[in-house]
Amino acid sequence: MSFVANRIGNIHESVIRGLTVYANSKGAINLGQGSPDFGPPEELVEAAVEALRSGFNQYVPTWGLPELREAISKKTERFYGFLPNPDTEVTVTCGVTEAVISALLAVVGTGDNVLVLEPAHENYYAGIIFAGANAVWLPLKPPNFELNASELRKAFVEQDLKAVIFNTPHNPSGRVFSREELQLIADLCQEFDVIAISDEIYEHMVFDGLKHIPIATLDGMADRTITITGLSKTYSVTGWRIGYAIAQPELTTALRKVHDFTTICAPSPLQKAAVTAINFKQSYYDWLEHHYLARRERIIPMLNSLGFKAPSPSGAYYTMADFSQIADALGLSYNDSDFSYWMIKHLGIGTIPAGSFYKSDPNLGLAHVRFAFPKKDETLDRVEERFEKLKKMLNI
């Protein structure tokens, strides 16, 4: 008999972490994991050091340092025009990861159905399993990853949903959901009394003149949305573990109970330092957009010139590249996992197999791998050098 709870058996080691270990063991340049290889703005490091020195070393109120919740509230108003109450509607968590788990545990229970728009971050499924709930999958398919209105409606009509969870700007496809797509979800949530859990961690990485729209800002959605975002990506501090959830008081109270009894609070000195980040002026966000745009403009043409079909993402910092042409030329199979391992072994470049984002049917990721590009210029130079070997193999 196994000592391990049945539900844990349904959760497998994160494919991303597993491949990262392999990539590191081979000295590969890791374009798999979505973590910057550059530091945060120096001002933030200074703010963190200062916070440690000035005594922010003990617990702070479980739902977040009051000063940080105030700052989050004002930033939300500045960017999206609504001012959540910092005392009753904002909760600081240990990253978006914890906020997602706390949100799911707060609103779904045993046997409830949760619609997941795929491809999806692996942690949504884990949260659904922790809650004893059932995942209902709605795959958005390459190359366009668009939401199909009738398939979406069918899921709401047939599945007796309690919640829907999705992410925009979208990892891994780089899509930014349009107002029309969000409206479809919002209308169905209201018609079928469903809660939206919206992961907006890439909110400030939107290109091509598009705009990120939080679904909570659509008519009728403020009361039935848990908006989740955090500092990891926007300020290049994935290791700080600071995220937050915004929701109306009833939902916030429920989420805080889970948060309180799992973590007590997010790291105090880093919450103090996060105030500096949250108060950054518009010029920081303009810089961020240009910074990532420049990276996109390097990596996408580089990949396409090699025979990948790598769509140019409108948001976030990933591309889901189709490698079928390269596989054909080299006599490799369309297996995305094998190809990721092949790239690490033969080219020294790490990627993530697309199938790991599709739990309903991993074959939906066939012949696709995800490249992440939050990387220094020097790293991209080295990637370009390593791709010379692929060029030779392909005679180009």
Residues that bind ligand PLP (CB under 6 A): 34, 95-97, 121, 167, 171, 199, 201, 230, 232, 238, 243
Structure-block tokens of residue 325: 């042409």
Q: 96 or 186, CB closer to ligand PLP? A: 96
CA distances, 79 to each of 26, 207, 217 (Å): 43, 16, 11
Structure-block tokens of residue 51: 């916070």
Least spacing, CB of residue 316 vs ligand PLP, in Å: 7
Q: 56 or 317, CB closer to ligand PLP? A: 317
**Cis? peptide before 119, omega within 30° of 0:** yes
Distance between CA atoms of residues 66 and 295, nearest Å? 36
Distance between CA atoms of residues 106 and 167, nearest Å? 19
Least spacing, CB of residue 390 vs ligand PLP, in Å: 26
Give start and end residues of each alpha helix (H) in the chain: 6-9, 15-25, 42-53, 66-80, 95-107, 122-130, 149-159, 179-191, 249-263, 268-278, 282-306, 324-330, 336-347, 377-394
Distance between CA atoms of residues 348 and 342, nearest Å? 9
Beta bridge partners of 352: 370
CA-based nearest residue to 141, from 264, 311, 300, 299: 311
- What 3-state class would DSSP assign to 140? coil
Least spacing, CB of residue 175 vs ligand PLP, in Å: 12
Q: 199 or 336, CB closer to ligand PLP? A: 199
Least spacing, CB of residue 155 vs ligand PLP, in Å: 20
Q: 167 or 335, CB closer to ligand PLP? A: 167
Q: 48 or 327, CB closer to ligand PLP? A: 48
Least spacing, CB of residue 196 vs ligand PLP, in Å: 15
Least spacing, CB of residue 240 vs ligand PLP, in Å: 9
Q: 156 or 240, CB closer to ligand PLP? A: 240
Least spacing, CB of residue 342 vs ligand PLP, in Å: 24
Residue of closest CB approach to ligand PLP: 95
CA–chain centroid gap for 10, Å, is 21
Least spacing, CB of residue 237 vs ligand PLP, in Å: 9
Contacts of 249-255 with CB under 8 Å at 24 or more apart are 249/85, 249/88, 249/89, 251/103, 251/106, 251/107, 251/195, 251/226, 252/63, 252/88, 252/89, 252/90, 252/91, 253/88, 254/106, 254/107, 255/91, 255/99, 255/102, 255/103, 255/106, 255/226
Does the CA dihedral 219-115-232-355 come out positive or negative?
negative
Q: 73 or 167, CB closer to ligand PLP? A: 167
Q: Which amino acid is at 262?
A: T
Q: 200 or 390, CB closer to ligand PLP? A: 200
Q: 97 or 356, CB closer to ligand PLP? A: 97
Least spacing, CB of residue 238 vs ligand PLP, in Å: 5
Residue 205 in contact with residue 316, Cβ under 8 Å? yes
- What 3-state class would DSSP assign to 135? strand
Residue 371 in contact with residue 31, Cβ under 8 Å? yes
Q: 16 or 28, CB closer to ligand PLP? A: 16
Least spacing, CB of residue 55 vs ligand PLP, in Å: 26
DSSP H/E element including 165: strand 161-167
